[in-house]
Structures are given as C-alpha cells and as structure tokens.
Chain A
C-alpha cells in the first residue's frame, strides 16, 4: 500500500471533477536533444499525434495518444529537448513552465517519462536530477542501449533503479525494443515517486527554504513543486519569460532579489554551487552504475569528423551536400511541380465549366484556385527541403555545419546555427524560416528570419531568366555572360542578407554575442520514418498557417486586377489596364519612374506581390501575350522588346532589365513568406517591418543603379 507521499495530490485548480485514479494519467516526455526522444514518441504514439503551438509563443506543442496494457488511452506530451530546466530559450521555458504547472493552457502532467542517451548517462542525468525534484512519479528510459553496449559500456540497470527508486527501462526506441516494457510501466497505477535525495549546499539551503515557503503561501504551489521551483529560480540567471505563463508573486520575487543581493555582497557563487552539487550527486551515482570498459581507439564519429570538419575537406563535404540538395530540389521537384500545375489548371477549367459565368466563378477560378495553386506548386520543393533539413538534423551533420560556419557567421554577429536556415532559403525562404527554431537566442532567430528572404529563392528564377533573356539576346551574348549575371544576382542577395544581419545586430536587435556552446552529437543513421513524419508535419504546419493568408491575398489581388469591370467586349489586356491594379500602377508611376519603370511594370510589381514568379504571367497579360504560362517566353520577350514609353523611347532597355532584377533580389514579393513570418514571430509587426525594409532597400538600390547607369549613358 503506497503511503501518502507516493500519491501526489491532483491539481485541484486545473482539474476539479475527475479524481486522478479514474482519469487516464497525462505523461510528459522530457529529455536532452539528440537522445532519441522523437523516435520514442513516434514509437509510442504512431500517427496519433497532434502538432500545434503553445498559445502566444512559437514553440511547438506535440501531444499524442498511446494505449495502456488494458487498452486505455494515455496522453503523452512531447516537450522540446533541453539540457536543463533553467531556461535560456522559449523552447526551454516551455519545458520548465509545463512541468511546473505554470501554464494555463496545458495542465500539469501527472507523470513524467525521462529519456536519456545510455551512451552518455552523466550529462543526461543532470536534467533527470532536476526533473526528479518535481515530486512527480517518473519513469526513466535508457535509450540506445545497443549503442551503449557497442561502446563498451556496462550499465547496472537494477542498481540505478534501486538508487533512484523509480522504474528504469532499457530501450532501443529505433528498433522498437523496450517499448512494450515502457507501456507496461506507464500502465501501472502505483508508479512510485523517486527516492533520490541530495544535499542542497549549506550557504544556499536557507534561501531555498524561504523561497519554498513563499511559493507555497503566495503562489499557491504544492510543497514538492515549490522546492523544485525554488531551486530553479536560483539557476535561472535572467529568467526567460514566455507569454501564457503565470509570473511569480511579488513577495517571492522580492525574496529572490534579496538573497541574490546578499550573496553578491558576500561573494557566494550560488548558481555555480548548485550546479556543482548536482553533478557531484550524479557522479557518485554513475560510479555505482556505470562500469565502463576502456574504450579502444577513436569512435566512428571521431573518424568521420576527421574528414567532415577537416580544414580542407570540410568545404568539399559541405559543398557536395549542398550541391546534392539543390540538384534534387531543382530536378526532382520539377515532375511533381508540372503535375500540380496541370492539375490546378484542370481544376480551374472544370470549375469554369461547372459553374455559371460570373464574378463568383471567376473568384473561384482566377482568384482562389489560381492564387493558391501558384503557392501549392512550390510544395514539392518545400517538402524536399524539409526532408533534407530533417535528414541533416537527424544524422548530426547540422551541428557540424554550424560548427564549421560559426566563425564566418560571427562576423555579422550571428552564430553558426543561422547558416543552414539561410542556406535553405536559396530554395525557398519558408522552410528556411521555419528551420530557425533551432536557434536558441530569440534576437538571433529574429535577425535570421528578417534576412532569410534576401537569399535568392527559386521563385525569383523565372523573373531572372526572363530579364536576362530580354537583356541579353541569345544570338549576341555567350551563355557565360548570362550565367555570370545570374550568379551576380545570387551574390547580391547573399551580400544583402549579411549586410542587413550585421546592421540589425548593431542597431535594432542589439544583444550579447550569441553563445556557441553546443553538443556535437555522435553521427547516427537517420530513420526514414521519423524524417518523413517530420517533413509531413512541417508541410502541414505551413499549409495550415499560411493557407488563410494566402487565400485572402489571392482573392484580393484577383479583385484588384479584374475590377472595376470594363463594359463591352474587351481583352484581358485592356481590362487589367483599367482595373484597380492598373490605376495603382499609374498612381505608382511617379514613384517608380526614377527607377526606369512605367505603370505597366507597376502592375507587374503589384500583382507579383503574391509570389515573384507571377510577374512573368502578368507581364504576359499586360503586354497582350496570352498564354505566357508555358515554358517558352519568346513571344513575351519580343513583346517586351517592342514596348515603348509614350515618347517612343524603348521601355525595357538593358539598364531597366538589370534594375528590375535588382528590385526582385531585394523586394519582399511573397505573401507566403509574410504569412509564415507572421506566424513565427507571433505579430504583424515584424513581417510589416520586413516588407518595408526589403522593399525600401530595393527601391533605393534600384534608384542608385538606374540613375548612375543613366549618368554613364547606358
């Protein structure tokens, strides 16, 4: 019969009616990054997962359902990977706040599954040590037991179980071994509390007691949680707060500040002492449990790293991986892209046939279907990029790339972790921006998000190709010159991204230089299932998050280019000229004329706000070349070359073509990016700022180039 201490009180404030014994318990899954947590979560819950966001923060909330041995559903919350409960990033703050029951949107988990990498018990146990303080029944999962055995480690599982007083389950989540045993343990109704105890260092103990008392009295905490929280308050240096979490009461905050002041006066290193005493307890435990056979020679990872981070070979490996990435994005993606293009067109035609003619039909076909289709067509590229990013992450290469690139990135005040998101943005800024979640520092992450769309993405290619073709007729200029010009545009975007990153870090988002304290995990073979699941999850998030905004802007743009209706039988060319977009183009002309653009180009700029490649098709409409959607832009090029200003001067001079390309390098012409940035930063402020600075920079640079070119007589 378990005593009262083994039965923590259910949280009455959050769950009034159902007693803990009857309601299926909620488990939280906690562990370090790279310990196989996602694999275990997938193995437990299969496809029964829900991915969302914690309200007010851009941290993913993953919950899944697994079943007890009697078939009862058990909820599992997969918390972000962290090394410590002393939070430094929003992700880590969520782990801390959920476990401490500080969040109103997520009930405090009843029980905790701690997963550790058995090959690296000592450091992994640090988090476990903090978690066991929380006074919740817990299960410890020793994952990657096979690798631990292969590395020559001999772990005394029974001894560890005895020392901690909680079930310890050896496991190989990747092979499904140990999952059954874990499920059995999760089904237990009498899951014990940990027996582990450790001595809080003497100079700190009175402060912990006082804070604990205040947390119970003033913050309404349970005694055990209050003790754990008191300990955490002492290692949280500048406490990361996230939206949606209950703040400390004033009394407790004042007590904390008082102690810190006293210790500073006495020269007591309170946080260091606490960390050290935890590690001492862990080292003692490990001495009992880990029988380490002497390792012979360097590990496989060491041998791989001798090449992968070698001063010379590193660049070849990085270059090779990137080439493979971009080749697959541009070649593999083409087939599904063509197919989607065809299907979207077919759907449009079908709806056109099925509905009576009128505004409503056009709204569906030309507005919603064409607009959303224009984004969906990029989905294959986005999926491939997500797949590659997941692969790089799960093999351990991502950390190496960050390690190699850190020095270069630090020149502009960022750290190596910004490299992969920026690189991915060459294909598409959306996966790039969504990949910034691995950047811990909030300011660094924001800077990376702000500059990522400056990397020339694949949607700019059609614009570049059209302009290069118009600028440099094939018969007169070598292919080399065209390729050179194209590379110049990519270089310009990259330089712009770094220049703006530097500027933002110096001014707007000034912060401490980011840390580069990062684990280089051992290389692991990726599990295809996990990578694919991750890819689908990301793509789904993008579609759900950006979907409504993309639909809204598509319909708005359709309306602007087709209304007001011109009476009588007119061509689409005349219709667009008299539409709101045409009016806006004309109204815009004074602003863009100094760049060498007329109102017709203005229409192109406005309509391609949806996505850059739309510029090509709207130029087709504006200059009366129907069916410019096809691959062959020869008629369009001819039409562009014949386009003139009212006075007779040619419109698309080489200088104007060049200026237009530069405009597309810098200007924010992508509603999907805006939508994703809005979701990732949780406000309209940053996407609007981003649109303003990018388009402003584009205008200014085009002005300089065009006017300088004119002055030089081009």
Chain B
C-alpha cells in the first residue's frame, strides 16, 4: 500500500495503524512498552505550540513523543471515516 507514511507526517486529527518501528534504540523499546506496536491504532491528537513534540492517542490514553522519534515510526492511514 502506498498509504504508509511516517508518523511525523500524519495530519492532526487523523487515525492510522502502526506498521513499523525501528528494531533498536531506546525510543523504540520504550514506545513498544508503552503499547505502540505494529498493528495498533493511533490518532494524532495535536502537536505542542511549536509543532513538536506530538501527542498521540494509543490504547485509550495520550502519549507524547518528539518529531524525531515519530520520524522512525511508519504508519498506514486508516481509510475509515471518523
């Protein structure tokens, strides 16, 4: 599918499904332990006033991550309308 983009490119308010996370690294493991795993649905809630960090909703709670961390996460935009 061509609709796989970086999490950092997702538009505010849109929903997506996580497809890929980097194998190694601090950020990756912590994200996974916080429930951001391939196959999980997320929503980009908003960004901080300067556009970074991002706030996402995942597994029913809100999580922040920096743009640089979001660039490593590939997501597939959900087609289902909200």
Task: List the 4 closest pairs (A to B, CB-CB), nearest first.
Answer: A407-B50, A520-B62, A275-B32, A311-B49
- The answer on a CB contact under 8 Å between B23 and A519 is no
Is A122 within 8 A of B60, CB to CB?
yes
A97 to chain B, nearest CB (A): 18
Q: Select which of A315, A407, A517, A519 is within 8 A of B52 by beta carbon.
A: A407
Q: Are A309 and B61 in contact (CB under 8 A)?
A: no
Q: Which residues of A contact B23 (CB under 8 A)?
A: 269, 272
Among B32, B33, B45: residue with most chain A CB under 10 A: B33
Q: Which residues of A contact B (CB under 8 A)?
A: 83-84, 86, 88, 119-120, 122-123, 126, 235, 237, 269, 271-272, 275-276, 279, 301-302, 305, 309-312, 314-315, 399, 403-404, 406-408, 410, 416, 512-513, 515-521
Interface centre among B26, B37, B49, B63 (most CB of A within 10 A): B49
Q: B74: shortest Cβ distance to chain A, in Å?
A: 14
Report 14 cross-chain contacts, Cβ distance below 8 Å, ordered by A residue.
A86-B33, A122-B60, A235-B29, A237-B26, A279-B37, A315-B49, A404-B49, A407-B48, A515-B30, A515-B65, A515-B69, A517-B31, A517-B34, A521-B62
Interface residues of B (CB under 8 A from A): 21, 23, 26-35, 37-38, 45-46, 48-53, 55, 59-66, 68-69
- Other A-B contacts than A122-B60, A407-B51, 6 sampled, CB-CB below 8 A, are A235-B33, A399-B64, A403-B64, A408-B50, A516-B65, A517-B27
Tell which of B46, B59, B66 touches A515, judged by Cβ atoms closer than 8 Å. B66
The distance in angstroms between the C-alpha atoms of A88 and B32, with both chains bound, is 14
Residues of B within 8 A of A84 (CB): 33
Chain A residues whose C-beta falls within 8 Å of the C-beta of B30 in the assembled complex:
88, 515, 517
Q: Once the chains bind, are A513 and B68 in contact (CB under 8 Å)? A: yes
Interface of chain B, main secondary structure = mixed
Residues of B within 8 A of A119 (CB): 60
CB contacts (< 8 Å) of B48 on chain A: these are: 309, 403-404, 406-407
Chain A residues positioned under 8 Å from B60 (CB to CB): 119-120, 122-123
CB distance from B73 to the nearest CB of A (A): 11
CB distance from A149 to the nearest CB of B (A): 15
Chain A neighbourhood of B51, CB < 8 A:
407
B27 contacts A515, C-beta separation under 8 Å: yes
Q: Say how far B35's CB is from chain A's closest CB, in angstroms.
A: 5
Q: How far is it, in angstroms, between the C-alpha of A237 and the C-alpha of B26 when the chains are bound?
A: 7
Q: Is the pair A516, B34 in contact by a Cβ cutoff of 8 Å?
A: no
| B35 adjacent to A122 (CB under 8 Å) | yes
User: Which residues of chain B are within 8 angstroms of A521 by Cβ–Cβ distance?
Assistant: 61-62
**CA of A503 to CA of B12 in the docked complex: distance in angstroms?**
35
Which residues of chain B are near A120, meaning CB under 8 Å? 59-61
Which label, helix, strand, loop or mixed, suits the secondary structure of the A interface? helix
CA distance A290 to B65 in the complex (A): 27
Contacts of A272 in B (CB 8 A): 21, 23, 28-29, 32
- Given A237-B26, A275-B29, A279-B35; A516-B49 close (CB under 8 Å): no
Q: For residue A271, which residues in chain B have a CB less than 8 angstroms away from its CB?
A: 29, 32
The answer to whether A276 and B63 touch across the interface, beta carbons within 8 angstroms, is no
CA distance A519 to B60 in the complex (A): 11
B8 to chain A, nearest CB (A): 13
Q: Which residues of A contact B52 (CB under 8 A)?
A: 406-407, 410
Known: A122-B35, A309-B46, A404-B49. A88 touches B59 (CB 8 A): no
Contact call A275/B37, Cβ cutoff below 8 A: yes
A399 to B63, alpha carbons, bound, how many Å?
Answer: 10
Q: Give the chain B neighbours of A276 by CB distance below 8 A.
A: 32, 37-38
Closest to A512 in B: B26
| Chain B residue with Cβ nearest A301 | B62
| In the bound complex, CA of A312 to CA of B28 (Å) | 32
- B37 cross-chain contacts in A, Cβ below 8 A: 275-276, 279
Q: Of all chain B residues, which has the CB nearest A408?
A: B50
Contact, CB under 8 Å: A520 / B55: yes
**Nearest chain A residue, comparing its CB with the CB of B58:** A123
Q: Is the CB of A83 within 8 A of B61?
A: no
Using A516-B65, A518-B64, A519-B61 as known contacts, say yes or no to A309 and B49 having CB atoms under 8 A apart. yes
Q: Roughly how many angstroms separate A301 CA and B68 CA in the complex, as a whole number?
A: 26
Contacts of B63 in A (CB 8 A): 517-520
Of B29, B46, B50, which contacts A237 at CB under 8 A?
Answer: B29
Q: Are A123 and B49 in contact (CB under 8 A)?
A: no
Measured CB to CB, the closest approach of chain A to B19, in angstroms, equals 13
Instruction: Please measure, in the bound complex, the distance between the C-alpha atom of A329 and the C-alpha atom of B7, giving whole angstroms.
Output: 43
Chain A residue nearest to B62 in the complex (CB): A520
- Interface pair A406/B32, CB less than 8 Å apart: no
A311–B30 Cα distance when bound, in Å, is 28
Residues of A within 8 A of B26 (CB): 88, 237, 512, 515
User: Given A406-B48, A518-B64, A519-B61, are A83 and B21 neighbors across the interface (CB < 8 Å)?
Assistant: no
Least Cβ–Cβ distance between A100 and chain B, in angstroms: 18
A631 to chain B, nearest CB (A): 42
Using Cβ atoms and an 8 Å threshold, which residues of chain A touch B28? 272
Collect the chain B residues with CB atoms within 8 Å of residue A404's CB. 48-49
- Residues in A whose Cβ lies below 8 Å from that of B45: 302
* Cα-based distance from A40 to B57 in the complex (angstroms): 27
B66 contacts across to A, CB distance below 8 A: 406, 410, 515-516
Closest to A406 in B: B53
Minimum distance in angstroms from B37 CB to a CB of chain A: 5
Inter-chain contacts of A512 with B (CB < 8 A): 26
> Whose C-beta in chain B lies nearest to the C-beta of A121?
B60
For residue B46, give the distance in angstroms from its CB to the closest CB of chain A.
7
Complex alpha-carbon distance, A399 and B55, angstroms: 12
| A513 to B52 CA separation, bound complex (whole angstroms) | 14
Q: How far is the CA of A315 from the CA of B48 in the complex (A)?
A: 11
Question: What are the residues of chain A within 8 A of B21 when measuring CB–CB?
Answer: 272
**A403–B33 CB distance below 8 A:** no
Q: Which residues of A contact B55 (CB under 8 A)?
A: 309, 403, 520
**Which of A305, A309, A312: most chain B Cβ within 10 A?**
A309
Least CB distance from B25 to A in Å reads: 8
B34 → chain A, closest Cβ, in Å? Answer: 6
Chain B residues with CB below 8 A from A311, complex form: 49
Contact (A517, B69) CB under 8 Å given A314-B49, A407-B50, A407-B53: yes
Specify which chain B residues have a CB less than 8 angstroms from the CB of A309 in the assembled complex. Answer: 46, 48-49, 55
